[in-house]
Structure 1
Amino acid sequence: MGLLHRFANPGRFLRLAARLQPWTNALALVLTGWGLIWGLFFAPADWQQGDAVRIMYVHVPAAWLASAGYVALAVCSVLSLVWRHPLADLAAAEIGPVGAAVTAVCLASGSLWGKPMWGAWWVWDARLTSVLVLFFLYVGHIALLRAFDEPQRGYRAGAILALVGAIDLPIIKFSVQWWNTLHQPDSITLTGAPTMSTSMLWPLLISALGFSFGFAAIVLARLRAAVMEQRLRVLLLSRGNAAAGAPS
């Protein structure tokens, strides 16, 4: 917690973020480009799915980030509700739209992959449905933040929704084990060896890493803008109050 509070000061955070931004931007562009070019044009086709499997180099990183982004949203909510971290609410507000966009990419690319494999754009598969619920949770969080005239009430309501909605994450993760679904079991796990060829695994991992840096770069840029906007608003308000209290 000491490290988190160290960067609670807006000025200190902006200085650190300004140093990190070029690196996250560059890594996102290089790794995403490398992974996608390798996966889409040079990795082998799957023996069952053919070239349709190449959609996974977009779909799988988007799916990972959809859940990871919501984890970050829930962590910011805990920091806000429990420790009153001054930047946690702003971070949550900026993570939400990016997470919703990534989840939408996950759902859209999953539909493109599902059509040739399952013969339908959409089926009420357990994993598909739970990811759709995740998208609605992101959208609900965004809407709640803007539903109150007092920003702090919106932040608090959004934080509570984010924590309650976190129950959807294990459902997404274990849906293929808990129910009979059309999704295959996870090819990459922490407890066992990958079940896919390394010629497909490496571009997937590189693409996922690039997507992750891209997610971080976008959130960091949005958060920097939000912090500067807040500081400018406070400065203008203080100047307005000073002008109003000055003797005529």
Structure 2
Amino acid sequence: MNILTLWFHKLGSPPTFYRLAGLLLPWCYGIGLLLGLVALYSGLVLAPRDYQQGDAYRIIFVHVPAAWMSLFAYAFMAANAFIALVWHIKLSEILAMASAPIGAAFTFIALVTGALWGKPMWGTWWTWDARLTSELVLLFLYLGVIGLNAAIEDRRQAARAAGFLALIGVVNLPIVHFSVNWWNTLHQGSTIRLMGPSKIDAAMAWPLLLMALATHIWFFGSVLMRARIALLQLEGGKDWVRKVALDEGAAGG
């Protein structure tokens, strides 16, 4: 067993993960909050008005990062579900299920802010556009995973069943992403591109990218927090959990 394998094996140990997550949590929340506030101020106050949409476009500084996170969180959930199903790693089950409500929240925010943006731009709150519809399907997939996980009493069986559903739903991710290219939709295409020139001014792009970074960091903090709670519930009778309870009780007292 090489050093890298040993490191991953140790990281997958519940006590080690619990302690490491506890150390990372305040950093994730603190940095995520700070970057998010800077990004919001820069986007809502400092960024120039759009020559076509005026100030209405500023909702992109919430909408676009939330939409990106809805896809990223699902990919993270599905990847951990795959690892859990193939290698039966308990921690991956926990991480997959911990990320589902967070991803659902980002998807809901993306849909709501999209509707708020669509009303002045398209003249309607909702249309059965390919991008909007596939994003709504993504929300239903998240809710399905959450519901299935909650419906089965045995926590590990629940995580496996919900993880299998999450893997089936992966097919929707490219549909969401490429829908504006595959179909004639009202939704605009990508404005920031990794390959080729972007269609957005740099003064607008950097707050958007900063907000995306902030949401990713906040996401990991939220996943770590939920995973720690789930780990304590799952491992409730173990010696290390009792030791943690005693240590935290002593620190709190």
TM-score by length of 2: 0.90
Distance 1:123 1:6 in 2: 49
Q: CA deviation at 1:152?
A: 2.6
Instruction: Report the equivalent of 1:98.
Output: 102
Q: Secondary structure at the match of 2:12?
A: coil
Instruction: Say whether the 8 Å CA contact 2:155–2:234 is kept in structure 1.
Output: no
Distance 1:152 1:221 in 2: 19
Q: CA deviation at 1:234?
A: 4.5
Instruction: Report the equivalent of 1:127.
Output: 131
Instruction: Report the equivalent of 1:212.
Output: 216
Q: CA deviation at 1:54?
A: 0.2
Residue number among 213, 222, 225 corresponding to 1:221 in the alignment? 225
Q: Which amino acid aligns with 1:229?
A: Q
Q: CA deviation at 1:137?
A: 0.2
Indicate the percent of aligned positions where both proteins have the same amino acid. Answer: 45
Instruction: Report the equivalent of 2:145.
Output: 141
Deviations 1:9-39 (A, max 9, x none): 1111112112211211111111000000110
Q: Which amino acid aligns with 2:222?
A: I
* Matching of residue 49 in structure 1 with residue 61 in structure 2: no
Distance 2:152 2:73 in 1: 24
* Matching of residue 107 in structure 1 with residue 111 in structure 2: yes
Deviations 1:171-218 (A, max 9, x none): 011101100001111011221121110000011111111111111111
State which drifts further: 2-11 or 80-89: 2-11
Q: How well do the aligned residues superpose, as a CA RMSD in angstroms? A: 1.8
Residue number among 64, 88, 95 corresponding to 2:68 in the alignment? 64
Instruction: Report the equivalent of 2:173.
Output: 169
Distance 1:5 1:78 in 2: 17
User: How many correspondences in the alignment?
Assistant: 238
Instruction: Report the equivalent of 1:38.
Output: 42
Q: Which amino acid aligns with 2:132?
A: L
Instruction: Say whether the 8 Å CA contact 1:5–1:85 is kept in structure 2.
Output: no
Instruction: Report the equivalent of 1:183.
Output: 187
Residue number among 135, 154, 157 corresponding to 1:153 in the alignment? 157
> Which ranges of 4 or more aligned residues in structure 1 deviate by more than 4 Å?
none
TM-score by length of 1: 0.91
In structure 1, the gaps of 5 or more residues are 239-248
